[in-house]
Structure 1
Amino acid sequence: MHKLFFKIQIDAPPEKVWDVLWSDMTYRQWTTAFTEGSFYMGTFEEGSIMKFFDPDNNGMYSSVEKNIANKEMKFLHLGEIYDGVETVQDWGEATEDYILEETPTGTILKVEIQTPEEFKSFFEEKFPTALGIVKNLSENQL
């Protein structure tokens, strides 16, 4: 398991950054960095299951481990979805944690990921682009 860290300063309040991260419309925009046409199904309530899809309805499902509005969202990735079939994966503690820290000029968005070797280079390549889109949306949308 690899632990990856990403961080970006955003000149917008945490509430705005949070909204960009988790609102359906803007989620679809910033996740184009990973796969064009990405979307989710479910609710972000702690303990609930979220499903994350590509345009072909394949993807992964995760448990919402923590949801503290405007501060932290943490997922535990449980398995994959292909052709509508959920398959549990032995990823151990594969987590994705979004942490927002308010600063005098806005927000520091930190992402901490624990990932198996097979996804490490993908995240290292794609996450900086994704966070740049989150920054742009947060700073420039009404």
Structure 2
Amino acid sequence: MKILEFKTQINAPAEKVWKVLFTQDANKNWSSAVNEGTYFEGTWEEGSVMRFLDDENNGMYNSVEKNIPNRELTMKHLGWIYDGELSPQDWEDSTVTYLLESNENGTLLTGKINALDEFVDFFNSKYPSNFEK
């Protein structure tokens, strides 16, 4: 496992950044840097399961571990989705956390990923452009 960290300063209040990250229409645009056409199903409530899917009903699913609106969201990666079917994986403590810190210039967005070695290259190649978007 490797801890990865991505940061970007955004000239907008934390409430607006949160909306872009976690509302369906805005999320589709933001997440398209990782995978074009990705959308989510579920709620962001702690303990809920979120599905992140492409147009062919494939993707991954996570559990929401922590949700402090406009400040922090943490998810644990649980497994893949193939043709709409869940495929649990033993991904240990693979997690992603989004932190929003208000400052005089807007919001500092930080993404912290506890990534399995096999996914480090993926996150390093996709997340910088994702955060720019």
Bin of the TM-score, shorter chain as denominator length = over 0.9
Residue identity opposite 2:49 in structure 1: I
State the partner residue of 1:35. 35
Aligned-residue CA RMSD (Å): 0.7
1:46 and 1:12 mapped to 2: Cα distance?
26
Displacement of 1:57 in angstroms is 0.8
Return the alpha-carbon distance in structure 2 between the equivalents of residues 51 and 23 of structure 1: 14
Q: CA deviation at 1:121?
A: 0.6
Q: Which residue of 2 aligns with 1:138?
A: none
- 2:17 is the counterpart of 1:14: no
Give the Cα separation in 2 of the matches to 1:129 and 1:84: 27
Q: 1:29 Cα shift? A: 0.3
CA distance in 1, matches of 2:111, 2:51: 19
Q: TM-score, normalised by structure 1?
A: 0.92
Q: Residue 15 of structure 1: CA displacement?
A: 0.3
Give the ranges of 4+ consecutive aligned residues of structure 1 lying more than 3 Å apart after TM superposition.
Answer: none
Please tell me the residue identity of whatever aligns with 1:105. Answer: N
Does 2:132 match 1:132? yes
- Look up the equivalent residue of 1:34 and give its one-letter code: V
Correspondences of 1:42-81 after superposition (within 5 Å): 42-81=42-81
Cα deviation code 1:72-131 (max 9, x no counterpart): 011001111101211110100010000000001200000000111121111101111011
Which residue is equivalent to 1:84?
84
Gaps of 5+ in 2: none
Task: Please tell me the residue identity of whatever aligns with 1:17.
Answer: V
Q: Partner residue of 2:120? A: 120
Q: Give 1:60 deviation, angstroms.
A: 0.8
Identity %: 48
Aligned to 2:23: 23
Distance (Å, rounded) in 2 between the aligned partners of 1:102 and 1:12 = 9
**TM-score relative to the length of structure 2:** 0.98
Q: How many residues are treated as equivalent by the alignment?
A: 133
- C-alpha distance in structure 2 between counterparts of 1:12 and 1:63, whole Å: 28
